[in-house]
Amino acid sequence: MSRLQAEHLYKVFGRRPEDAVHRLEAGADRDELRAEGTTAAVIDASFTVEPGQIFVVMGLSGSGKSTLLRMLNGLLEPTAGRVLFDGDDITHLNPRKLREVRSKKISMVFQHFALFPHRSVLENAAYGLEVQGVAKEERLRRATEALELCGLKGWEKSWPDELSGGMQQRVGLARALATDADLLLMDESFSALDPLIRRDMQDQLLELQKTLKKTIVFITHDLNEAMRLGDQIAVMRDGRIVQTGTGEDILVRPANDYVRRFVEDVDRTRVLTAGSIMEKVAADTEFSDDEGSSCSAETPVAELFAALAEGTTEISVTDDDGDLIGVVGHEQLFSALADEARIDETADETHTDKAGAEAAPTAGVQAAVPAPRETVKAVKSDA
């Protein structure tokens, strides 16, 4: 079982880091330590990622995301706490065993994937296996398979500079997948791509994940990306994880004002699901799927608009066995949007430059066009 667990991880840079941990445990904050020239990059981070899950770490620049990730693969030694993966305590392995775990069980995918310009796409994809000492024939076979998984069949003999940025990033992903590592650590892996290609890559990752079921930690400061990819999302602020939950948890039940402001520009119709807004029906309600539309509890609200606009009065929500569990009609849809409008109204009290309250009910529909970068900027300039 390739479960990843972080237990009370701390990373402090600067003088007397252990002392700093004791002070943080006693309630000191990052600013106090910084005044003395010590940086508390990660403070008391704990979480579990189950096999097959994508765990997204989200936060503004400097919040400690990359430092956290580097502790997960043993590149950085935690000042306190430990990391367990697949039964191994990564933080207390001897250097030889750690190297082995790092090369066989863990793969990293970075924002700018440094491909070797004078090696073919295939050789680039096989690089991780070369490092592991896998024989040439086998590594080329596995790299070929990985390239195919990433939609690059036919490009094996090309040179990196013949590929677009998005394709190069796919080679990076293929390199990580070829090693067969159970744990994928992805640091802003799609952030350098333009929005359409980025969406493609997100889709591809979700598609691959259905069959590969890796344990993935994905870092991003793009909220919409976090919401699309994350089974669980951890929001970091100033070194601490301030909330962990599903996208819907974070959106509907933000732990504090910081998280609420952070998520206020997210397109809620893509995160809220039919199951969360439906009107429940009694367990034994008769249901025939012959007419009208049906969807699952996980279907995003955004995908219900078209059917309702075309005249369907009610969409049936069914469980995995096909049994009716609820319905969504105009009333449920509008109430969900009205809730959103109320949230937006409160937000407008602090952000007067936004659309007024009357415009708010349609905001969710318009927001269906993703605007990831603006979202981040808005939060950044406020912070």
Ligand X SMILES: Nc1ncnc2c1ncn2[C@@H]1O[C@H](COP(=O)(O)OP(=O)(O)OP(=O)(O)O)[C@@H](O)[C@H]1O
Residues at the interface with ligand X (CB under 6 A): 13, 39, 41, 59, 61-67, 221
Rounded to a whole number of angstroms, the minimum distance from the CB of residue 80 to ligand X is 16
Query: Which partner, ligand X, Mg ion, none, binds residue 350 by CB below 5 to 8 Å per kind?
Result: none
| Smaller CB separation from ligand X, 64 or 247 | 64
Nearest CB to ligand X, comparing residues 34 and 342: 34
Q: Which does 269 bind (CB under 5 to 8 A by kind): ligand X, Mg ion, none?
A: none
Instruction: Name which of 142 and 221 has its Cβ closer to ligand X.
Output: 221
In the bound complex, what is the minimum distance in angstroms from residue 158's beta carbon to ligand X? 31
Shortest Å, Cβ 170 to Mg ion: 22
Closer of 59 and 300 to ligand X (Cβ):
59
Tell the smallest beta-carbon distance from residue 274 to Mg ion (Å): 35
Query: In the complex with ligand X, which residue's Cβ is closer, 185 or 360?
Result: 185
Pairing of strands 293-296, 54-59: unpaired
Q: b/e string for 45-56 if b means 16 or more Cβ within 10 A?
A: bebebeeebbbb
- CA–CA distances in Å: residue 148 to residues 170, 171, 177: 10, 10, 11
Name the binder of 63 from ligand X, Mg ion, none, CB < 5-8 A by kind: ligand X
Judged by beta carbon distances under 5 to 8 A according to partner kind, the member of ligand X, Mg ion, none in contact with residue 62 is ligand X
Name, in order, each residue with C-beta under 8 angstroms of 64's C-beta and a sequence gap of 6 or more.
11, 41, 42, 43, 45, 236, 238, 239, 240
CB of 382 to ligand X, least distance (A): 16
39 binds, among Mg ion, ligand X, none (CB under 5 to 8 A by kind): ligand X
Compute and round to an integer the Cα radius of gyration of the chain.
23
Give the nearest distance from C-beta 216 to Mg ion in angstroms: 17
Which residue has the closest beta carbon to Mg ion? 66
Output 63 or 244, the one with its CB closest to ligand X: 63
Closest CB to ligand X among residues 38, 144: 38
Give the shortest CB-56-to-Mg ion separation in angstroms: 14
Q: In the complex with ligand X, which residue's Cβ is closer, 79 or 91?
A: 79
Q: Nearest distance from residue 378's CB to ligand X, in Å?
A: 16
Q: Which does 51 bind (CB under 5 to 8 A by kind): Mg ion, ligand X, none?
A: none
Give the binding site for Mg ion (CB under 5 A).
66
160 binds, among ligand X, Mg ion, none (CB under 5 to 8 A by kind): none
